[in-house]
Amino acid sequence: MDASFWYERWERKEIAFHEDEVNDFLVTHFASLNVMPGARVFIPLCGKTRDIAWLMSQGYQVVGAELSELAVQELFEELEVDPEIITLENHALYRAAGIDIFVGDVFALTPDMVGEVNAIYDRAALVALPLETRKRYTQLLVTLTSCAPQLVISYQYDQSKLDGPPFSISQEELFQHYQAQFEISQQDLKAVEGCLKGQVEAVESVWLLQPTSC
Domain boundaries, the chain: 3-211
**Alpha-carbon distances, residue 197 vs 66, 77, 167 (angstroms):** 23, 28, 12
Is 10 marked as binding a ligand? yes
Q: Which of 82, 80, 84, 106 is nearest to 95 (CA)?
A: 84
Is 45 marked as binding a ligand? yes
Superfamily of domain 3-211: Vaccinia Virus protein VP39 (3.40.50.150)
* Residues 139-180: tens digit of each pLDDT: 999 999 999 999 999 999 999 999 889 999 999 999 999 999
Answer whether 185's CB lies under 8 Å from 207's CB.
yes
Q: What is the model's pTM?
A: 0.93
User: Would strands 119-122 and 40-44 be described as parallel, antiparallel, or unpaired?
Assistant: parallel
* Residues 59-96: tens digit of each pLDDT: 999 999 999 999 999 999 999 999 999 998 889 999 99
The rounded mean pLDDT for the chain is: 92
Q: In whole angstroms, give the CA distance from residue 126 to residue 142.
A: 13
